[in-house]
Structure 1
Amino acid sequence: MRLTVFGTGYLGATHAACMAELGHEVVGVDVDPGKVAKLSDGVTPFYEPGLEEVLRRNLDAGRLRFTTSYPEAADHADVHFLGVGTPQKKGEYAADLKYVHAVIDSLAPLIERPSVIIGKSTVPVGTAAELGARARAAATAEVEVAWNPEFLREGFAVQDTLRPDRLVLGLDSARERADWVAGLVREIYAELLEAQVPFLQTDLATAELVKVSANAFLATKISFINAVSEVCEATGADVTILADALGYDARIGRRFLNAGLGFGGGCLPKDIRAFMARAGELGADHAVAFLREVDNINMRRRTKVVDMAAKACGGSLLGANVAVLGAAFKPESDDVRDSPALNVAGMIQLHGAVVSVYDPKALENSRRVFPTLNYATSVADACDRADVVLVLTEWKEFTALRPEDLNPVVRSRSIIDGRNCLERARWREAGWVYAGLGTP
């Protein structure tokens, strides 16, 4: 099939490349000529394992191309995926839909034959219905709007697109062409459906709520174990063993029960805040009031690590040399949006420390956010004459570290494990002062 994908950020570029991998003829559309030029040359503007190979393979095969031209995109296909960003509004919790609206307002007047716009972006509930009315008012032909939320995990985006754990499609069942839309989507994902990927067809509102509800649940699970870790710190209990014990309960499971610095990135923080904002607009803010405490717990872990660093340096960070290993919000990503690691590095610098940051992939993005931090080219460079070392992103390069790797370069043998990802017994036996979150 012929498809377009509007937006070539993390979501859009991944979806475009993977739809081409499924055999479709895809045009990716973006208003940024720089992004379009990079992608056309087979270069992704962000780090995602495996994506560049898929991108280049399909560019070479002629199934994928990129453009800034909306008329070209409208002429190419009758099925248009919407994958632009929905960031948090400045000074508010609500999602900013200006990019979503811009696509609809630019595309709809160009549609001259029956078409469908399929949303992938995470939006507040009620957005799809509003966009449908908006598109139909501007188009000269019939336009349907459906919603097919994404469930991408950074570091696993290609896998999550080509073999997702479920497909969700939201339709306006009151529309005469709803069955036509469902048939198109089933055709697009035919290979996935043949592979027995579950397919759930819902109304528009349910589809919109699935992604944000999933993120809210995961955020709650992470903040739950971090709240428990605070109790562990007060009692001398070990949160890692406690989490293992909880994980054996089939009703709970072990995943996302890793106590530590907390969650970040471009999805969970802004999505739960947008969920709270939209619930408030609907008069149901009491129903998700607990998410405010989820957010508070998450942010509190960052200040906790700053306090731990100050304690490790004798009570004050003024003039201390602090090594921060990790800047991305998670491993296998260069994403530093709302990154706990980079946030902690910035706060420590504001307390007067000299901070050296190293990350295998996220240094360039980090410099844009915090240009005043020092950025190292290796672990050894970052830890040179360090008074304390902080491990804040669980890259394999860091979890594999041994005390003897750092003994020759640090000034003080003190390490803070912000992700509880190191073997603390090994570090203590080697004479290091080890501190973790929620561990004795």
Structure 2
Amino acid sequence: MRMVVLGLGYLGATHAACMAELGHEVLGVEVVPEKRESLARGEVPFYEPELPELLKKHIDSGRLRVTGSYAEAADFADVFFVAVGTPQKKGEYSADLRYVDAAVEELVPLLTRDALILGKSTVPVGTAQRLSERADELAKDLEVEIAWNPEFLREGYAVKDTLNPDRIVLGRFSGGRAETVCREIYAPLLEAETPFIVTDPPTAELVKTSANAFLATKISFINAIAEVCDAAGADVKAIADAIGYDARIGRKFLNAGLGFGGGCLPKDIRAFMARAGELGAAEALSFLREVDNVNMRRRTRMVELTREVCGGSLLGKRVAVLGCAFKPESDDVRDSPALNVAGQIQLQGASVTVYDPRAMDNSRRLFPTLDYADSVRDACGGADVVLVLTEWSEFVELDPNLIRSTVRQRNVIDGRMCLSSERWFSAGWMYRA
């Protein structure tokens, strides 16, 4: 099948390459020239495991092409995926839908035949209905159907999550062809018995935001328990292990530590709260405000703990920060807890040196005043304390003896509870988590 993907960021580039892998002929539309030129060469301008190989494979085969022209896209196919960003509005909790709106506003007037537009972007409930009404105004005599097919990708596992999804959700209005088309698009996945949930657009929109809200709540729950454990002298990891055996609870996403960040969970739960308020259901999601508060407190607590380890003041201290991406297997530093902590520590007078296996360039652009090193050893040189803030395997498996002679003081703070405390203690380090 021929199809178009509008927007080639993390979501769009992955979806376009994976649709080509499923056998479809795909045209990707990217309006940023530098990004478009990179992708057209088969080069991914961000880090996502497996994606560079997949993209290059299908650029070379001709099954995937990249353009900046909406007119070319309108002529190419009659199925369009909207995969543009929906960031948080500046100064507000609401989602900024200007890119989603622009995609529809620019595409629909160029259409010369009936079309199906499938939304992938995470949007507030009611967006599909509003866009459907706008498409009807713009389409004149054509039938332009809007449906929502939300993504459930994890950065670092996006290719796997697209080609081997837990479920496929489609929200469509009655009487259209969205379900028939999606069954054809995802036929190889449905043959592998992937659950296919067909519902109305508001429900599909809420499935995505509800999933993110639940994951954020689970993370903040265990971090709230960690606060109580700090006060009571209890072991939060042992608590997580014990309650995780309950099948109703499960162990995943019960890792206490620095909390969540990135381009999805923080802005999505805030947009969810804002939309609930607009619908007159603000009280229903008031608990998410505390979920957000707990998450932000973890960053403050990490700064306080670093100050305690440094004797009560960070002025003149040297701090090594290992990890600046918001999670491992990603170069994404949007709302990164690690970078937030590094910046706060620097503002309190410390000299901060950062190292990350993949996210250094993005970090430099966002926090140019921090110092950056090319290796763990260089970052730890002369440090009074080492902070592990992203659980890259390079840090989890780090032999503490390899850096003990490079630091000034053997203090390590495990911000992700990912290190072996016994291993670091036995190597002569003071370990805190």
Q: Establish whether TM, by shorter chain, passes 0.5.
A: yes
| One-letter amino acid of the counterpart of residue 276, structure 2 | A
Partner of 1:21: 21
Q: Is the 8 A contact 1:5 1:83 kept in 2?
A: yes
For residues 426 and 206 of structure 2, the distance between their equivalents in structure 1, rounded to whole angstroms, comes to 49
1:362 equivalent in alignment to 2:381: no
Partner of 1:400: 397
Partner of 1:8: 8
1:294 equivalent in alignment to 2:295: no
1:128 equivalent in alignment to 2:128: yes
For residues 153 and 46 of structure 2, the distance between their equivalents in structure 1, rounded to whole angstroms, comes to 15
Partner of 1:312: 309
For residues 186 and 84 of structure 1, the distance between their equivalents in structure 2, rounded to whole angstroms, comes to 23
Q: Single out whichever of 425-434 and 11-20 deviates more from structure 2.
A: 425-434
Deviation at 1:60, TM superposition (A): 1.3
For residues 28 and 90 of structure 2, the distance between their equivalents in structure 1, rounded to whole angstroms, comes to 28
For residues 344 and 388 of structure 1, the distance between their equivalents in structure 2, rounded to whole angstroms, comes to 14
Deviation digits for residues 113-145 of structure 1 (CA, Å, limit 9, x no counterpart): 110000000000000000011112111411000
Report how many residues are paired: 432
Alignment of 1:243-282 (within 5 A): 243-282=240-279
1:390 equivalent in alignment to 2:387: yes
Deviation at 1:415, TM superposition (A): 0.4
| One-letter amino acid of the counterpart of residue 386, structure 2 | V
| One-letter amino acid of the counterpart of residue 46, structure 2 | F
Partner of 1:238: 235
1:99 match: secondary structure: helix
2:191 to 190, 194, 199: 194
Partner of 1:373: 370
Q: Is the 8 A contact 1:4 1:29 kept in 2?
A: yes
| One-letter amino acid of the counterpart of residue 167, structure 1 | I
For residues 210 and 45 of structure 1, the distance between their equivalents in structure 2, rounded to whole angstroms, comes to 30
Alignment of 1:15-54 (within 5 A): 15-54=15-54
Gaps of 5+ in 1: none
2:324 match: secondary structure: coil
Partner of 2:57: 57
1:187 match: secondary structure: helix
Deviation digits for residues 153-197 of structure 1 (CA, Å, limit 9, x no counterpart): 011000000110000000112xx3x2x221011100000000100
For residues 231 and 420 of structure 1, the distance between their equivalents in structure 2, rounded to whole angstroms, comes to 16
Q: Is the 8 A contact 1:2 1:76 kept in 2?
A: yes
Deviation at 1:429, TM superposition (A): 2.1
| One-letter amino acid of the counterpart of residue 434, structure 1 | Y
Partner of 1:85: 85
Q: TM-score, normalised by structure 2?
A: 0.99
| One-letter amino acid of the counterpart of residue 378, structure 2 | D
Q: Is the 8 A contact 1:48 1:157 kept in 2?
A: yes
Deviation at 1:380, TM superposition (A): 0.4
For residues 73 and 374 of structure 1, the distance between their equivalents in structure 2, rounded to whole angstroms, comes to 44
Provide runs of 4+ in structure 1 moved above 2 Å: none
For residues 416 and 146 of structure 2, the distance between their equivalents in structure 1, rounded to whole angstroms, comes to 42
| One-letter amino acid of the counterpart of residue 286, structure 2 | A
Q: Is the 8 A contact 1:329 1:336 kept in 2?
A: yes
1:157 equivalent in alignment to 2:154: no
Deviation digits for residues 2-43 of structure 1 (CA, Å, limit 9, x no counterpart): 000000110011000100010100000011111110001111
For residues 368 and 210 of structure 2, the distance between their equivalents in structure 1, rounded to whole angstroms, comes to 35
Q: Is the 8 A contact 1:229 1:259 kept in 2?
A: yes
Deviation at 1:430, TM superposition (A): 2.0
Deviation at 1:426, TM superposition (A): 1.6
| One-letter amino acid of the counterpart of residue 236, structure 1 | G
For residues 97 and 178 of structure 2, the distance between their equivalents in structure 1, rounded to whole angstroms, comes to 24
| One-letter amino acid of the counterpart of residue 158, structure 2 | A
Q: Is the 8 A contact 1:108 1:136 kept in 2?
A: no
Deviation at 1:264, TM superposition (A): 0.4
Deviation digits for residues 260-285 of structure 1 (CA, Å, limit 9, x no counterpart): 00000000000000000000000100
For residues 9 and 424 of structure 1, the distance between their equivalents in structure 2, rounded to whole angstroms, comes to 39
Deviation at 1:315, TM superposition (A): 0.5
1:105 match: secondary structure: helix
Q: Cα RMSD over matched residues?
A: 0.6
For residues 405 and 91 of structure 1, the distance between their equivalents in structure 2, rounded to whole angstroms, comes to 45
Q: Is the 8 A contact 1:122 1:212 kept in 2?
A: yes
Gaps of 5+ in 2: none
For residues 57 and 82 of structure 1, the distance between their equivalents in structure 2, rounded to whole angstroms, comes to 23
